[in-house]
Structure 1
Amino acid sequence: MLIAMAGLPGSGKSHLAARLADELGVPVVSVDPIEAAMWRAGVGGPGDPLPTGLAAYVVAEAIAEENLRAGRSLIIDAVNAVEPARGQWRELATRTGVPLRFIETVCPDPETHHSRLAGRRRDIAGFVEPTWEDVVARYYAAWVDDHLTVDTTDDDAATLRRTLGYLQEP
């Protein structure tokens, strides 16, 4: 199965992805560390017009495809804010013949969301964390796919149970 996380930075994607990975025993392929590795290698960087964000998605797709073809499920951890990004995972699932589940995380309380971003320390070498202003200004397309929307301000254990239940659905 391919599980594609989606949601704005600081909405709880990576936290939920890690919890799911532990519970399911599957790896997480995260776009942010891939992009940061590109920057550390001298490819692009914050403010550079080189589209390293797009390139990081393509690298994540290649890693995911290799794992899916080997019979391993995995979780993609990425914002997936626009239709082309979401379409990338639909096409990958079709190519590899695996089911796809989209999980969108939301944090509808602006104060909580802002404080999460302000206090976030992910220790991704060379990665510049987005600011609250970046998140508020970011375009986020409406969904056309079936997906589960998870309010991450809810109880953590209940959120995990609900998400695992969604992944078990036919």
Structure 2
Amino acid sequence: MLIAMAGLPAAGKSSIARGVGGTLSAAVVSVDPIEAALRRSIDRSQPTGLAAYLVAEAVADGILALGQTVIVDAVNAVEPARGQWRALAARHRVRLAVIEVVCSSPDLHRKRLEERDRGIEGLDEPTWADVERVRAEYEPWTDRHLVLDSVADLPANIKRALEFIAGLR
């Protein structure tokens, strides 16, 4: 199965992805560390977002080829990114589970963003202005998907995600 996480930066995608991945023994492929590695290897002024998604797709492709479940942890704000995961799932004839994470409290979302330091060398943490820019570009999902609100506690969200995934299998 291919599980695509989606949502604004600092909404809580990675925490849920790690919890689900640990429970399912599924690999979690996160775009942010890939983008950071690309930035460390090239001129930092060059755009790396699309390249990071393509590398994540290549890694996920290899994992799916082994018959294993993979979780892609990325913002997935626009249709081209989403189509990429649909096509990958179709190539491997596996189910695609889409889990969108939101944070319904702007104050909590901003606090989490401003307090986090993931320690990803080569990648600056996004600012609230960056989140607002992504929010303005974020397209509504049309696929069947689960929406989790990260205001709820993490174990409850992981449980809901696992139930949604089990219902798709």
What's the TM-score, normalizing by structure 1?
A: 0.95
Query: Is the 1:35–1:52 Cα contact (8 Å) retained in structure 2?
Result: yes
Number of aligned residue pairs: give it: 166
3-state SS of 1:169 partner: helix
CA-atom RMSD in angstroms: 0.9
Is the counterpart of residue 151 in structure 1 residue 164 in structure 2? no
**1:168 Cα deviation after fit:** 0.3
Query: Is the 1:44–1:52 Cα contact (8 Å) retained in structure 2?
Result: no
3-state SS of 2:141 partner: coil
Aligned equivalents of 2:73 and 2:13: distance in 1? 7
Aligned equivalents of 1:92 and 1:3: distance in 2? 11
**1:121 Cα deviation after fit:** 1.1
1:18-57 matches, within 5 Å, as 18-41=18-41, 43-45=42-44, 48=45, 50-57=46-53
Q: Which runs of 5+ in 1 are unaligned?
A: none
Match of 1:96 among 67, 73, 92: 92
Match of 2:120 among 114, 124, 132: 124
**1:51 Cα deviation after fit:** 3.0
Q: Deviations over 1:44-76 (max 9, x none)?
A: 42xx2x331000000000010011011111100
Q: Deviation above 4 Å: which 4+ runs of structure 1?
A: none
Query: Is the 2:2–2:70 Cα contact (8 Å) retained in structure 1?
Result: yes
1:102-113 matches, within 5 Å, as 102-113=98-109
AA at the equivalent of 2:36? A
Query: Is the 1:4–1:89 Cα contact (8 Å) retained in structure 2?
Result: yes
Aligned equivalents of 2:143 and 2:40: distance in 1? 35
Match of 1:133 among 114, 117, 129: 129
Match of 1:66 among 58, 62, 66: 62
AA at the equivalent of 1:142? P
Query: Is the 2:15–2:154 Cα contact (8 Å) retained in structure 1?
Result: no
Q: Deviations over 1:100-158 (max 9, x none)?
A: 00000000101000001001111111111110111012210011111100001012222
Query: Is the 2:10–2:113 Cα contact (8 Å) retained in structure 1?
Result: yes
Q: Which runs of 5+ in 2 are unaligned?
A: none
Q: Identity percentage over the alignment?
A: 52
AA at the equivalent of 1:12? G
**1:22 Cα deviation after fit:** 1.0
